[in-house]
Structure formats: C-alpha cells, structure tokens
Structure 1
Amino acid sequence: MTAELILDARNATGESPVWSIAEQALYWVDIPAKRLHRWSPADGKEHSWQASQMLACIAQTGHGSWIAAMENGLFAITPHADGSLDSRLLASVTHALPGMRFNDGRCDRQGRFWAGTMVMDMAAGAPVGAMYRYNAGQTEPLKAQLQGLIVPNGLAFSPDGKTLYLSDSHPDVQKIWAFDYDTDTGTPHNRRLFVDMGEHPGRPDGAAVDAEGCYWICGNDAGLIHRFTPQGKLDRSLTVPVKKPAMCAFGGADLDTLFVTSIRPAGDLADQPLAGGVFALRPGVKGLPEPLLNN
C-alpha cells in the first residue's frame, strides 16, 4: 500500500490530526511552530494560523472553535478567515517542573477532553508527566488523573468508549496500556499492558481506533503505522516515506482514509526529503467520527 503525500508541510512536529466532518477538512498542529493548520481535499488548499503558545493537541467544540492544550493550560481557540486566531484560557495547569507543556490528547466518547503533559527535554527522562481531564464549563484548575508518565502519547478510546488506551513513547518505556473506562464518571482503572512496543519497530506515538475496534499507532523512528487487534495482536503494518510518523486519524467523506502527520528533524534529510509532510493511506477499514467537546 502506497502512502500518498497530500501536503509537503515540512512541519517540525506535525501532530493531532482531526477530521472535521462539518467542513470536510483536516486540521492539525505544528507544535514548536505554534501553528494550527487546515487542509481541504475539495480544493487542495492549506491555511494556517499562528498561536501565542505551542499547540500540542486539539478537539472540536461544534461551534466553529476548538479546544487546544497548549503550554500552560487548555484554551478555546477560534481561527478566522482573515488569518487571525482568537484564544481564551479555559483551565490552567500547575506543572510539576519548569519546561513542561501538553502533548497528546483528545475527547472521550462522551466529549470530555483528555490531555497529557511532558517535560520538553526528553533526554531528562523525568516521570512527572500526567493526564488531565476537562469537562466543558469547568472553572477549577486541572487535576492530574494519571501520573508517573514521561511522554504520554497514543491516547484513544474503543468504539464503545469503555476502554482507554495510553502509551508512553519515551525510549526508556515504549509501552501501550489499556484501562477499563467508566463512561459515567470518566475514570480509568484496571491498568494493564496492551502492547510492549519494545517487541515491535518504532516508538509508540499518536494513535487512532477504527470502527472494528482495532488500535492504530505510529511507529516513530521506524516509518510504520501498526494496527493491533483489541487483544493486542499485531494485525498489519503500513509504511510511510518518512522515519517519524507522529499521529494518525481517520477522515475523508467515508472516514476510510488514514491521515498521518510527521516530524521533520534537524540535520541531513536526503533519505527522507518529505519529512514533516502529511500523508494519506487507504487501509481498507473505516474510522469513527471524532467526538466533540461536551458543551
């Protein structure tokens, strides 16, 4: 299966692709560039907006705006046709250490927004990252729901919402866990090992779940997208022409396209000139609509 380049975006760290069904367009972020991007397959045009802080992950609100996890909290952001981007703080966070930001995140099936934090200096290997949950209208500061993570990643929910998947992509960990998830309270419990990525190529990065309940995760450093069954068995691996795929998301008119964002590292890129691009794959299965924030 050949990956199609849809945009030579050259993102430093392209992350959090989200398909907007209402707009039939793909949104994503470039974290260090502090930019929100939008691409429409109808006309092939790309637009971007500059934020005041690093954007780590986004989710739709259903009102033409988005919730974004940034450096020091969660923000409501609204992109405008004139290129401006409004932002408003929704909930602040108190980080465990200086030099931290949010990383991976998304809404659960009930519309609660989850996002994790990390120390930006990955070499430090500091296990002070945490997962936070936000309910629309919440006014109090965010409280950690899961702790002890270095680089929280791979957040996804099963089709029925009753299983939460989470990974730690730091080279010292490289594991994916599954949790039972109480859909009434938004509480994960019964943590267990789902996949040890030390047994597979690539570090676990961003993820998606398809309509059959299988878990797709980017194998960072290996140029692969892996599909695991709900039992944690490797089903297949798809290739992309870059070493660092960062996150995948289902989209397209029939939700049968797997979009993949990627990272463009510094240095010689002669062997991967398309690094930082956005790609599309046709895996033969469909995804699920990404939940909106529950407001």
Structure 2
Amino acid sequence: MSAALPELLCDVRCQVGESPLWDPAAQWLYWVDIEGRAVHRVDAAGRHRQWPVAERIGAIALQAGGGLLAAMETGLFLLQLQDDGTVGSRLWQPVAFPLPAMRFNDGRTDRQGRFWVSSMVRDMAAANPAGALYRADAGGLAPSSIDGLRTGNGLGFSPDGRVMYLSDSHPTVRQVWAFDLGDDGVPRHRRGFIDMRQHPGRPDGAAVDADGGYWICANDAGLVLRFTPNGRLDRQLAVPAAKVAMCAFFGPRLDRMVVTTIRPAAPIDGWDPALAGAVFVLDPGCVGLADTPFTAGG
C-alpha cells in the first residue's frame, strides 16, 4: 500500500464531476459536470474554462478529427468548444432508452477507438436494472449484449485491448467484471474480477495503467484502489472527499492522476464539505495510457 498527498487542480466545485480526459496533442485536461451541464478544461498553464451544454452530459471522448464526442441525454453529440464560450453541437446518434428519466453515465474508448458507454435510470433509489452497455463505432450506436445494469461504471481496457472491465456501482451490486474483447468488439466470457463488498466504497469510474493495473474510484470511501490484472489489491490513494467519481492519467508523461468528485445534497459527517465536488491531482507512482480517439464520428 502507498499514500500520496493530493492537491487541488483548480478552484472549481462540480455537482457531479465525471469523465476526466487528457488530450496529449493540445496538453489539455477535460472533465464534465453531469448535473451542472458543463464541460470543463484546464490548459498546460493551469487556466480553467468551462462551456455550458443543453443536457446532462455523462461522458466525453476525443474525436480523431478534433472536438469531442459527448454522451448526453438524447444521444451522442459531436461538440466543438468555441473560444467565445459557446459550443457547436450536432447530434450524431440518437438513443431511445427503454424507460423515461434515463441517461448515459460512464463512458470511454477502447484501444481500437470504439466508444463504450453505460446507461442508467437517474433515480438511483429505484435500483432499476434497466441500464445497459452501448457501443458506438462506424456502424453507429447500439446496445451490446450486456444489460441488467443499475449504475454501470468502471469501464477500462487492458493495454493490449483484449480485456474489458465494467462495474456496477449501485449499493445493491458493488461488483467489477472482466470480459474478453475480440477484434469484432463483442464482449465474451464475463467473469467476476472484484467483489467490492470486500473493500470500502462502491466501484465508480476507473482507469488502467501501462502495466495493466486497474484503478477504481471507491465512491463513499474517499479512496482510489489499484488492482493487479489478477484482481489483487496492491495500492490505495486517499482523497479528501468521500464521493470520488472517476480517475484518469494525464500530463506530458502520463504519470499524474486526476480524480473528480461529487458534491452530495447534504454534508457527510467526517468530510470537509468545502472539498466536495473538487478535482484532485495525485501521484500514482506509475504511468498511464493515452485514450484512443473515437474514429467514427465524421
């Protein structure tokens, strides 16, 4: 086990901070505020900017041709963030969820540039397993064979792209699974990877390092946990906010970690409410992998 002292990335507090994303070409770090309906960015000089969007925005990915792919309430949008603070937005693929009041949640590209994103019923108290995992590629957007999710999260991909990780962070589930992922982009051989009922917190957003270590945010516990490819916990980093949401590697050498957090409706005993919703920087003691840009938006 090891610990690191986190620092604040900037003076921003999100309602639901999610989807940190590093752009290595521009040296920009993005993230979103789902309920705040905004995209945030910090540049190499530490300057912060934000852009409003019209819907809840669950996850973003880089586009190969520039701009961002965004998973929003009514579908996947192509975004261009303008210097004047406005957003050029075009619906690329609409989505028809099976129930009202659903949205996209956690999303990430795999090593081949396909975009994967989970859906969920917004009211977590309903514990409704209507969520599913979707895949977007040159053929468009479609549900995968993975459904029955209450709060899909924890997407990550092994360095060779052959293993996909997925969690369900709902309090009644708290599991992380691994799947074999072939060239055809079909997940197979689902198996248990981490039973988070044996660890503190709920398995929220995740990242994979260059050695194949799987880092998972332990929501409600203020921790980021690293598991080896065989599922053994070997490291944990503390964050001074309980509701850690998602982590990502960033920086010129991909040797720093950013962690977004959530601001709860009411303060949590034992935690500083002034830090809830902040974005933190940690030293993970390893290097990460760059995200592959999405290649099919056009």
Same fold (TM over 0.5): yes
Farther-moved stretch of structure 1 (61-70 vs 262-271): 262-271
Query: Which stretches in structure 1 are left out of the alignment for 5+ residues?
Result: none
Partner AA of 2:291 in structure 1: E
Find 2:38's aligned residue among 35, 38, 61: 35
CA RMSD of aligned residues (A): 1.2
Contact 2:20–2:246 under 8 Å retained in 1: yes
Partner AA of 2:179 in structure 1: F
Corresponding residue for 1:169?
Answer: 169
Corresponding residue for 2:105?
Answer: 103
Partner AA of 2:98 in structure 1: A
Q: CA deviation at 1:17?
A: 0.1
Give the number of equivalent residue pairs.
291
- Distance in 2 of aligned mates of 1:62 and 1:186: 19
Q: CA deviation at 1:61?
A: 0.5
- Distance in 2 of aligned mates of 1:268 and 1:80: 36
- Distance in 1 of aligned mates of 2:86 and 2:187: 38
Identity percentage of aligned residues: 53
Contact 2:64–2:295 under 8 Å retained in 1: no
The superposition leaves residues 124-174 of structure 1 with CA deviations (integer Å, 9 ceiling, x where unpaired) of 0000100111114x35x5334311110000000000000000000000000
- Distance in 1 of aligned mates of 2:47 and 2:7: 16
Corresponding residue for 2:53?
Answer: 51
- Distance in 1 of aligned mates of 2:84 and 2:93: 27
1:130 is aligned to 2:129? no
Instruction: Tell me which stretches of 4 or more aligned residues in structure 1 moved more than 6 Å.
Output: none
Corresponding residue for 2:219?
Answer: 220
The superposition leaves residues 73-94 of structure 1 with CA deviations (integer Å, 9 ceiling, x where unpaired) of 1111111111010111111111
1:287 is aligned to 2:278? no
TM-score by length of 2: 0.95
Q: Which aligned pairs between 1:108-257 and structure 2 lie closer than 5 A?
A: 108-136=110-138, 138-139=139-140, 142-182=142-182, 184-257=183-256
SS for the counterpart of 1:198 is helix
Farther-moved stretch of structure 1 (62-71 vs 166-175): 62-71
Find 1:9's aligned residue among 12, 15, 27: 12
Query: Which stretches in structure 2 are left out of the alignment for 5+ residues?
Result: none
Q: CA deviation at 1:43?
A: 2.0
Q: CA deviation at 1:44?
A: 1.5
TM-score by length of 1: 0.96
- Distance in 2 of aligned mates of 1:271 and 1:52: 31
The superposition leaves residues 64-109 of structure 1 with CA deviations (integer Å, 9 ceiling, x where unpaired) of 3111100021111111111010111111111111100000011110
Partner AA of 1:178 in structure 2: A
- Distance in 1 of aligned mates of 2:256 and 2:280: 10
Partner AA of 1:65 in structure 2: G
1:65 is aligned to 2:67? yes
- Distance in 1 of aligned mates of 2:215 and 2:143: 28
Contact 2:70–2:79 under 8 Å retained in 1: yes
Partner AA of 1:16 in structure 2: S
